[in-house]
Amino acid sequence: MVDIVSYNKTEAGHSCIVVFDTENDGGSSIQSDDLAILIRWNSPLEILPAIQWQGCWNNWEDLPSDFIVNSSTIA
What are the sequence ranges of the domains in the chain? Answer: 10-64
Measured between alpha carbons, how far is 26 from 21 in angstroms, rounded to an integer? Answer: 7
Q: How many other β-carbons are positioned within 10 Å of the β-carbon of residue 44?
A: 13
Measured between alpha carbons, how far is 5 from 32 in angstroms, rounded to an integer? Answer: 31
Pick the closest to residue 70 from 47, 50, 52 (CA basis).
47
**Over the stretch 16-69, which tens digit does the pLDDT of each residue have?**
888 889 899 988 888 888 888 888 888 888 888 888 877 666 778 888 888 888
Q: Decide: 25 and 36 in contact? Cβ < 8 Å.
A: no
**Over the stretch 3-31, which tens digit does the pLDDT of each residue have?**
766 766 778 888 888 888 989 998 888 88
pTM over 0.85: no
